[in-house]
Amino acid sequence: GESVGLHLPTLSVQEGDNSIINCAYSNSASDYFIWYKQESGKGPQFIIDIRSNMDKRQGQRVTVLLNKTVKHLSLQIAATQPGDSAVYFCAENMGGGSQGNLIFGKGTKLSVKP
């Protein structure tokens, strides 16, 4: 499949462990954040989102934490599975609801060891 990032930071975890993927965003005025998962050969897949009036949001096996003070976003994956191996990247909405206002991070490659 296609390689979406040749020089991405890589996180390697053991199956069953928890994973934490971090993202620093750029604009303190950004009001909406999204995490995407991109598997080899596929397009990005929405995982979870969070608005700036929240600091934590939970989904199925995933939790997103937002720290506006230091402009930091993290994605926690519980009980990581081999199927979680992918590139994960965050996106911030610089303001407004338009698709064009989304700024994407470069991504982190998650590798799950069985």
Partner 1 sequence: KAGVTQTPRYLIKTRGQQVTLSCSPISGHRSVSWYQQTPGQGLQFLFEYFSETQRNKGNFPGRFSGRQFSNSRSEMNVSTLELGDSALYLCASSSRGPRWETQYFGPGTRLLVL
**44 near partner 1, rule: CB under 8 A:** yes
Site string for partner 1, 3-42 (x = CB under 8 A): xxxxxx-----------------------x-x------xx
Q: Report the DSSP pairing between strands 10-14 and 108-113.
A: parallel
The verdict on 70 binding partner 1 (CB under 8 A) reads no
Residues 84-113 that bind partner 1 (CB under 8 A): 89, 91, 93, 97-100, 102, 104-107
Least CB distance from residue 44 to partner 1, whole Å?
A: 5
Q: Show Cβ contacts of residue 72 under 8 Å, excluding neighbours closer than 6 positions.
A: 22, 23, 24, 25, 66
If binding means CB under 8 A, how many residues of this protein chain bind partner 1?
A: 28
Sign (positive or negative) of CA dihedral 48, 85, 100, 106: positive
Q: How far is the CB of 9 from partner 1 (least distance, A)?
A: 13
Place of tokens 């191996």: 85
Which residue blocks in 16-88 are alpha helix, DSSP H?
none
Q: CA–CA separation, 109 vs 57, rounded Å? A: 22
Binding site for partner 1 (CB under 8 A): 2-8, 32, 34, 41-46, 49, 89, 91, 93, 97-100, 102, 104-107
